[in-house]
Amino acid sequence: MLAFILRRLGQSIVVMLVVAVVSFLMFRYVGDPIISMVGQEASIADQEALRDRLGLNDPFYVQFFRFITNALQGQFGISYRLQQPVTELILSRLPATIELALVSATMALAVGLVLGVFTALRPRSWSTGAIMSASLVGVSLPTFLIGIGLIYIFAVELKWLPSFGRGEVVNLGWWRTGFLTESGLRSIILPAITLSLFQMTLIMRLVRAEMLEVLRQDYIKFARARGLSKRAINFGHALKNTLVPVITITGLQLGSVIAFAIVTETVFQWPGVGSLFVNSVAVVDVPVMAAYLMFVAFIFVAINLIVDVLYYIVDPRLRVAGGR
């Protein structure tokens, strides 16, 4: 068990390193940070001088080594755009993104599970068909359009909910939460719905597919034959066995939720790390972009690690293969 975890940990570190290289490589192609840092009349010589001061003229490996050594100490430098320490910026934006991701993941999981089980238990009913079809409409539209549509209906026309931002926030230590004020809670509704639609559909379909699969298994038939109650079979056995892949995918999707938040946050002007990233891409704010990519990779690797370990615990059959 310990060996398994250690091995996966080692692999995770390799993953992080590769991500660092890749994200670093990427910056050479996304544009030139100098352009957005100097005024329109700065001479070529001035631009070169700044490039020098930023170390952008050093060979690639020198820049990379500097980046890694600093990153290991939690230092990602100063944002070119906002001129503040990047680590601080990301930490200050993190609560907004995490709260949004949690609310939308919870929504997606709750609705997805209920609808998934419901449609699996009534495979031939018309309501199943309706739910399955309706769920697809939500994933057939680009996120930005859904967001703008929701804003148009609920903020502009009905004036029920705010169109942008997080509302009033309360500081709990360094964590800035929007859960404790009415305007904060109202503000999270539209972005969370926008963000959750896609995952909701995915989870629902997954639950349904897995559930149908399990219900065909022999042990369910035996259970039925033994006269166990429908409820006990459906929820005690079928749902329980459905949960493993559902947990896996939901876990893996958490990273995607944070990533998907990029577009949602932009549309709703949600002050999270995603909108920070988008704003940084526009002006090639390399330190922020690098830190963001490392951060997303870290979350993902961590989730992967946890899911793998959970898998290992839940499904003993994998121990032979995985523990080797």
Partner 1 sequence: MTDIATPEGRQGRIARFFDSDIVFSYRRSPIAILASIVALGLILAAVLAPWIAPYDPFNPRTLNLMDGFTKPMSSSFAGNYFLLGSDHQGRDVLSTILYGSRVSLLVGLSATLFAMTLGVGLGLVAGYRGGLLDTVIMRIADIQLSFPAILIALLIFGVARGLIPASQQENVVLWVLVLAIGLSNWAQFARTVRGATMVERQKDYVSAARIMGVPPFFILIKHILPNVIGPVLVIATIGLALAIIEEATLSYLGVGVPPTQPSLGTLIRIGQQFLFSGEWWILAFPAFTLILLALSVNLLGDWLRDALNPRLR
Partner 2 sequence: MKKTLTGIAVALLASSVLVSAASAETVRWARASDALTLDPHSQNQGVTHNFNHHIYETLMDRDAEGTLTPRLATDWYVKEGDETVWIFELREGVKFHNGADFTAEDVVFSLDRAKSEGSNMRQLHADVVEIRAVDDHTVEVQMAGPSPLYPNNVTNTFMMDKDWSEENDVVEVQDFGAGEDNYAVRNTNGTGPYVLVERDPDVRSVLRVFEDHWADAPAVTEIVYTPIADAATRVAALLSGEVDIVQDVPVQDIERLASTDGVKVETGPENRIIYFGYRFGDLRDGTSISGTDGANPFDDVRVLEAMSLAIDRDAIRQVVMRGQSIPTCVANPPFVAGWAPEFDACPPTDVERARELMAEAGYADGFSVTLDTPNDRYVNDEAISQAVVGMLGQIGIEVSLGSRPVAQHSPLILNNETDFYLLGWGVPTFDSAYIFNDLIHSKTAEFDNYGTYNIGLYENPELDEKIRSLGTMTDLEARDALVHEIWTTVQEDRVLLPVHNQVLAYAMRSDITLPVHPENQPMLTTVTFE
Q: Which of 245, 254, 305, 247 is nearest to 105 (CA)?
A: 254
CB of 29 to partner 2, least distance (A): 9
Give just the sign of the alpha carbon dihedral 290, 292, 296, 298: positive
> Rule CB under 8 A: is residue 262 a binding residue for partner 1?
yes
Give the count of beta carbons closer than 10 Å to the beta carbon of residue 61.
8
Give the count of beta carbons closer than 10 Å to the beta carbon of residue 305.
16
Please tell me the distance from the alpha carbon of residue 60 to that of residue 54, in angstroms, as a whole number: 13
Of 1, 6, 26, 36, the residue at the interface with partner 2 (CB under 8 A) is: 36
Of 169, 200, 233, 263, the residue at the interface with partner 1 (CB under 8 A) is: 263
Of 85, 245, 251, 322, the residue at the interface with partner 2 (CB under 8 A) is: 85
The type of residue at 193 is I
Q: Which of 254, 265, 264 is nearest to 300 (CA)?
A: 254
Q: Which of 255, 261, 108, 98 is nearest to 179 (CA)?
A: 98
- Chain positions 65 to 84 lying near partner 2, rule: CB under 8 A, are 70, 75, 77-78, 80-84
E strand or H helix at 259, and its extent?
helix 240-268
How many Cα atoms occupy the beta-carbon half-sphere of 102 within 13 Å? 9
> Rule CB under 8 A: is residue 288 a binding residue for partner 2?
no
Please tell me the distance from the alpha carbon of residue 26 to that of residue 292, in angstroms, as a whole number: 13
- Chain positions 270 to 299 lying near partner 1, rule: CB under 8 A, are 278, 281, 293, 296-297
**Residues binding partner 2: number (CB under 8 A):** 56
> Rule CB under 8 A: is residue 155 a binding residue for partner 1?
no
Residue 276 interacts with, from partner 2, partner 1, none (CB under 5-8 Å by kind): partner 2
- Chain positions 186 to 215 lying near partner 1, rule: CB under 8 A, are 201-202, 205-206, 209, 212-213
> Rule CB under 8 A: is residue 115 a binding residue for partner 1?
no
> Rule CB under 8 A: is residue 13 a binding residue for partner 1?
no
Backbone angles phi, psi at 271, to 5 degrees: -80, 60
Please tell me the distance from the alpha carbon of residue 267 to that of residue 285, in angstroms, as a whole number: 20
Per the document, the length of the chain is: 324
CB of 237 to partner 1, least distance (A): 17
E strand or H helix at 170, and its extent?
strand 170-172
Positions in the binding site for partner 2 (CB under 8 A):
30-32, 35-46, 49, 53-55, 70, 75, 77-78, 80-85, 89, 92, 144, 148, 151-152, 155-156, 159, 162-166, 266-269, 271, 275-276, 278-279, 281-284
Q: List residues near partner 1 by CB under 8 A.
A: 11, 14-15, 18-19, 22, 25-26, 28-30, 129, 132-133, 136-137, 139-145, 148, 152, 156, 201-202, 205-206, 209, 212-213, 216, 245, 248, 252, 255-256, 258-260, 262-263, 278, 281, 293, 296-297, 300-301, 304, 317-318, 321, 324
